[in-house]
């Protein structure tokens, strides 16, 4: 602005100088190369410039005094009102299922047959695969013959004993032999049963890991994975300071970002042990999965309702400032007139929980108070301001 004033003054002076026939123009003076004349002209122009600058300063001061509307800071306000406030603790967790199992063989040998394929639904106890028994079935047959003989012997000896024929020791020996043969057959059949791999629960065959014809070892070779997608839950860690608010049956909003779906659920289990490493406790949130779209280890976002106020006063966090003592304050409009002009009053407040871009005011602000929103950081306590928009 100063340069504009300078150019304006120089132009006026040059025009005035051009109007005098006897006085040389600036161009003529420059062309004359007369040092003394040039210095004299510069002093003359400097003097005029200072005079115009002082006059402009006086004019601007007077305009500022008279034009009060333009002087006032422009602000927008919002009138607060009490409303219901639900605060949510936001966490991230992983989907789990208690029925997610890799099946290992209980007996070594050749995997002679696999009866299922990936993605197949199976029921509890269904035969999934068989392992070569290594001759166990033949041994069972032989023991069964001996057990049948021992049974016949015992039954005959028992009839004789009931007729008081024969000795007691003969009866007891026959009974003992029969029972021993029964236990031997039962034990061998139990071993033979281990060659049949059966489903431990109903579910879906997620992966067939070992191919038919492979040699497997008990407790080492992974045969297949079976998963039940019906009893799903989300497990996550909760900070210990929420232990009194995050409890069983609390409402939880569950979001699956990858699936683009959300649902309401409840906490079905809250841990009673605080992990000393990270000061957290575990919770489980039951998740219905009728369409089987939710898979184990899927990431989920949880919003747990840990606090609710029926009559909360909420304000934007962005308008809150802090003084040197660490107190939070905002500006409230007072004495507002018909021209939407009022005084900005600094008000000390106390705040509680926040959610998104709003925070609850617990002390210092009354319901229906009009607070400054835009322009809150550019006003001073007691300053007159003009409200251009009020919500």
Instruction: Give per-residue pLDDT as tens, 147-199.
Output: 888 888 888 888 887 887 878 888 888 888 888 888 888 888 888 888 889 99
Domain 103-226 class? mainly beta
Domain chopping of the chain, boundaries? 2-66, 72-84+310-390, 92-97+228-308, 103-226
Give the pTM. 0.55
Structure token pair of residue 84: 């219901």
Asked whether the beta carbons of 128 and 105 are under 8 A apart, the reply is: no
Q: Which of 205, 356, 235, 359 is nearest to 299 (CA)?
A: 235
Alpha-carbon span 132 to 190, nearest angstrom: 15
**SS3 for 297?**
coil
User: 59-79: per-residue pLDDT in tens?
Assistant: 877 776 666 555 688 889 989
Neighbours of 79 (CB within 10 A): 12
- In this predicted structure, what is the pLDDT of residue 21? 44
Neighbours of 137 (CB within 10 A): 12
| Residue 85: strand pairing partners | 309
Alpha-carbon span 72 to 273, nearest angstrom: 60
In this structure, which CATH number among 3.40.50.970, 2.40.420.20, 3.30.950.10, 1.10.4030.10 belongs to the domain 72-84+310-390?
Answer: 2.40.420.20
Alpha-carbon span 49 to 123, nearest angstrom: 101
| Paired sense of beta strands 74-79 and 384-390, if any | parallel
- Give the pLDDT band of residue 40 (cuts 50, 70, 90): confident
**SS3 for 182?**
helix
Domain 92-97+228-308 class? mainly beta
Alpha-carbon span 122 to 103, nearest angstrom: 14
**SS3 for 231?**
coil
């Amino acid at each position: 602005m100063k340069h504009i004033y300078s150019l304006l003054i120089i132009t006026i002076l040059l025009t005035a100088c051009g109007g005098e026939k006897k006085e040389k123009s600036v161009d003529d003076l420059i062309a004359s190369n007369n040092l003394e004349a040039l210095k004299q002209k510069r002093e003359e122009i400097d003097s005029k410039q200072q005079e115009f600058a002082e006059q402009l300063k006086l004019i601007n001061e007077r305009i500022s005094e008279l034009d009060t509307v333009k002087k006032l800071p422009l602000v927008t306000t919002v009138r607060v009102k009490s409303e219901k406030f639900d605060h949510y603790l936001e966490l991230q967790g992983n989907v789990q299922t208690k029925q997610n199992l890799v099946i290992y063989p209980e007996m070594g040998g050749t995997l002679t047959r696999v009866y299922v394929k990936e993605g197949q639904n199976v029921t509890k106890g269904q035969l999934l695969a068989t392992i070569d028994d290594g001759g166990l079935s033949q041994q069972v047959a032989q023991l069964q013959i001996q057990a049948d003989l021992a049974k016949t012997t015992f039954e005959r000896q028992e009839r004789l004993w009931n007729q008081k024929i024969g000795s007691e020791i003969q009866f007891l020996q026959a009974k003992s032999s029969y029972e021993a043969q029964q236990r031997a057959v039962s034990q061998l059949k139990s071993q033979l049963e281990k060659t049949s791999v059966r489903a431990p629960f109903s579910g879906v065959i997620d992966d067939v890991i070992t191919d038919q014809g492979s040699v497997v070892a008990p407790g080492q070779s992974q045969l297949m994975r079976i998963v039940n997608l019906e009893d799903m839950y989300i497990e996550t860690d909760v900070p210990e300071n929420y232990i009194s608010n995050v409890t069983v049956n609390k409402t939880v909003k569950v979001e699956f970002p990858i699936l683009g779906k959300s649902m309401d659920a409840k906490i079905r289990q809250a841990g009673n042990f605080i992990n000393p490493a990270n000061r957290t406790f575990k919770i489980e949130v039951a998740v219905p999965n009728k369409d089987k779209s939710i898979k184990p280890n899927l990431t989920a976002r949880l919003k747990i309702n840990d606090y609710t106020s029926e009559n909360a006063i909420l304000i934007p966090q962005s308008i809150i400032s802090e003084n040197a003592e660490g107190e939070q304050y905002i500006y409230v409009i007072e004495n507002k007139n018909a021209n939407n002009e009022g005084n900005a009053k600094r008000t000390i407040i106390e705040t509680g929980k926040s959610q998104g871009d709003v925070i609850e005011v617990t002390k210092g602000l009354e319901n229906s108070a009009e607070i400054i929103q835009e322009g809150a950081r550019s006003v001073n306590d007691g300053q007159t301001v003009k409200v251009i928009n009020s919500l």
